[in-house]
């Protein structure tokens, strides 16, 4: 007896770095943190409002990789909104079928 199972295409969490991050997430965080660190080194003795402005790249990067329900993170949500607004409106199933055999002599 054969059983068919639909496996969704989003079942690849094991391919994520530390089970959560993708390569673009790491790049976004690295750029935001590096820019903030560079600005902290360049600007000596910043005022409070300057410190807030200096930390904005890191805060924006951290917000973009923050996880939200039904999406990987805020960055993926923004990508999906952009693709929906400006892309074609035809959607395809991105998964695969698995055929599994259960039983001794049934075929």
Q: What is the pLDDT of residues 50-85, one digit of tens each?
A: 999 999 999 999 999 998 888 888 998 999 999 889
Query: Which has the minimum average pLDDT: 28-32, 61-65, 95-99?
Result: 95-99
Structural domain range at position 59: 2-9+23-101
Count of domains for the chain: 1
**Helices 48-64 and 23-42, interaxial angle, to 10°?**
170
Q: What is the mean pLDDT of residues 2-30?
A: 73
**Residue scoring higher pLDDT (18 or 65):** 65
Looking at every residue in the chain, the average pLDDT score rounds to 82
Asked if the structure places residue 14 within a domain, the reply is no
Assigned domain for 56 exists: yes
Structure tokens at 6: 């639909």
Looking up tokens 């990508």, which residue turns up? 79
Closest alpha carbon to 101 in 26, 17, 4, 27: 4
Q: CA 91 → CA 6, 21, 70, 86, 94, distances in Å?
A: 17, 26, 17, 14, 9
Cα–Cα distance measured from residue 48 to residue 56, given in angstroms and rounded to the nearest whole number: 13
Residue 16 is assigned to a structural domain of this protein: no
80 in any annotated domain? yes
Residue 85 lies in a domain: yes
Can you give the pLDDT at residue 38? 96
């Amino acid at each position: 007896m054969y059983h068919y199972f639909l496996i969704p295409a989003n079942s690849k969490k094991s391919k994520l770095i530390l089970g959560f991050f993708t390569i673009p997430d790491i790049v976004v965080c690295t750029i935001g943190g590096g820019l903030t660190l560079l600005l902290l080194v360049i600007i000596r003795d910043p005022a409070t409002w300057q410190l807030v402005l200096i930390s904005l790249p890191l805060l924006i990067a951290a917000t973009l990789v923050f996880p939200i329900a039904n999406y990987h993170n805020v960055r993926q949500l923004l990508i999906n909104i952009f693709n929906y607004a400006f892309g074609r409106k035809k959607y395809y199933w991105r998964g695969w079928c698995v055929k599994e055999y259960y039983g001794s002599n049934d075929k």
